[in-house]
């Protein structure tokens, strides 16, 4: 995929023909509708600070985001991206399903200097930023170039700088993005960027969206929910309807061992269910454990594929919900093996398919010899599970897709 091509765009300003994509006018009309509903006079979008207060600005954001969720807006947005923007990026990219909108009023400062990578966006995510009203001087976004950003971030980390110091140093290196509607500024998740107090007499309104090369790390965003592939169905529920469910299962949560003690059952349940949704699992039952029995009879029952109705999977909150005793765990794996029940671990985003253990041994997937939980502490990353103390009941895990 074309990560390299995206990188070549960073720092540049792209142009597009505004006629087929009147996103500015569409947003301005809605601002007019909102202001009228509030009994305000509306003259020009860059003048809305004359009537908008910080409180009504929040209401305006809600109003605009609701509009930007309509098919009327998204149809133009999608055509714009797929025709006018992605031609600069090459093939094999996903784009943000719905853009963000920012309104920077005179006298206000919108955001501290930061990189998007700091807040969980994937390192190779590329940002596209376009002004709907003229963006200039202190009313616009200020961005530091990639090399200076890398050096600054390294310096911030080593010196343990506070936000005030980070803002001060970033400001010294940042340049204002001065563009009008019809232009798009490109930067990426490693670029330091932020805003200054708007000392102009002009409100800036801008929209932004992200582009990601397919199969690159989306960071903390859910690829399917946050990004859209060009030409694909746009509605998440419609997409799910097209791709059938792969699992019917139970949610299993147990706030007893290790860190799970600090996460109430209803939060664990919510995480199990969210993970199940991503795994295309229909939850037909939910269960916690018999608190007075250490061998986890309820999990044993579920692993056997038994519940109020037949199941082929269990969305377990964490590996820390397994029994402490190795023999008890082995009994659960054995129970899961014959019916082929897949045991998912939502918190660690792992699955254990004992029936396919041989495949994993010989396969090309990520293979982990996981001696399952027998500890009060566990370090987990997206691709590995480490435990402090191992036992002899090694099973194979594979990172959940």
| Sites of contact with Fe ion (CB under 5 A) | 116
Specify the residue, 149 or 202, whose C-beta has the smaller distance to Fe ion.
149
Which residue has the CB atom at the shortest distance from Fe ion? 116
Specify the residue, 207 or 368, whose C-beta has the smaller distance to Fe ion.
207
Smallest gap from residue 296 Cβ to Fe ion (A) = 44
Specify the residue, 43 or 220, whose C-beta has the smaller distance to Fe ion.
220
Q: Which residues of 65-92 are buried (b: 16+ CB within 10 A; e: fewer)?
A: eebbeeeebbeebbebbeebbbebbbeb
Q: Among 144, 186, 199, which residue's Cα sits nearest to residue 169? A: 144
d(CA 245, CA 41): 52
Smallest gap from residue 47 Cβ to Fe ion (A) = 26
Smallest gap from residue 110 Cβ to Fe ion (A) = 10
Smallest gap from residue 141 Cβ to Fe ion (A) = 9
Smallest gap from residue 111 Cβ to Fe ion (A) = 7
Specify the residue, 102 or 301, whose C-beta has the smaller distance to Fe ion.
102
Specify the residue, 118 or 259, whose C-beta has the smaller distance to Fe ion.
118
Smallest gap from residue 199 Cβ to Fe ion (A) = 21
Smallest gap from residue 149 Cβ to Fe ion (A) = 12
Specify the residue, 148 or 287, whose C-beta has the smaller distance to Fe ion.
148
d(CA 321, CA 259): 10
Specify the residue, 6 or 319, whose C-beta has the smaller distance to Fe ion.
6
Specify the residue, 116 or 328, whose C-beta has the smaller distance to Fe ion.
116
Smallest gap from residue 193 Cβ to Fe ion (A) = 6
């Amino acid at each position: 995929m074309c990560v390299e091509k995206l990188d070549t765009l960073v720092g540049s300003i792209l142009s597009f023909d505004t006629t087929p994509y009147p996103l500015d006018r569409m947003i301005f009309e809605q601002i007019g509708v909102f202001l009228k509903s509030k009994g305000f006079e509306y003259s020009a979008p860059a003048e809305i600070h004359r009537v908008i207060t910080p409180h009504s600005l929040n209401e305006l954001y809600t109003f605009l985001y609701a509009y930007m969720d309509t098919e009327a807006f998204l149809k133009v947005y999608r055509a714009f991206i797929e025709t006018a923007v992605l031609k600069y990026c090459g093939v094999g990219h996903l784009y943000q399903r719905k853009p963000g909108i920012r309104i920077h009023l005179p006298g206000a400062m919108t955001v501290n200097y930061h990189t998007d990578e700091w807040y969980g966006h994937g390192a190779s995510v590329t940002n596209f930023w376009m002004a709907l009203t003229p963006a200039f001087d202190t009313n616009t976004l200020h961005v530091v170039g990639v090399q200076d950003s890398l050096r600054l971030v390294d310096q911030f980390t080593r010196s343990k700088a506070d936000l005030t110091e980070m803002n001060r140093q970033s400001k010294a290196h940042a340049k204002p993005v001065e563009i009008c509607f019809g232009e798009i500024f490109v930067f990426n998740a490693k670029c330091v960027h932020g805003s200054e107090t708007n000392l102009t007499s002009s409100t800036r309104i801008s929209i932004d969206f992200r582009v990601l090369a397919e199969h690159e790390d989306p960071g903390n965003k859910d690829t399917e929910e946050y990004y859209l592939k060009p030409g694909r169905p746009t509605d998440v529920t419609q997409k799910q309807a097209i791709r059938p469910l792969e699992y019917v299962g139970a949610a299993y949560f147990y706030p007893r061992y290790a860190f799970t003690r600090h996460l109430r059952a209803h939060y664990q349940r919510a995480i199990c269910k969210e993970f199940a949704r991503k795994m295309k699992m229909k939850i037909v039952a939910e269960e916690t454990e018999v608190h007075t029995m250490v061998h986890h009879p309820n999990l044993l029952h579920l692993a056997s594929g038994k519940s109020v109705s037949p199941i082929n999977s269990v969305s377990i909150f964490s590996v820390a919900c397994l029994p402490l005793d190795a023999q008890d765990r082995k009994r659960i794996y054995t129970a899961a093996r014959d019916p082929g029940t897949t045991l998912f671990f939502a918190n660690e985003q792992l699955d254990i398919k004992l029936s396919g253990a041989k495949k994993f041994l010989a396969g090309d997937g990520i293979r982990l010899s996981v001696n399952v939980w027998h500890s009060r502490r566990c370090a987990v990353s997206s691709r590995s599970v480490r435990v402090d103390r191992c036992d002899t009941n090694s099973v194979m895990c594979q990172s959940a897709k």
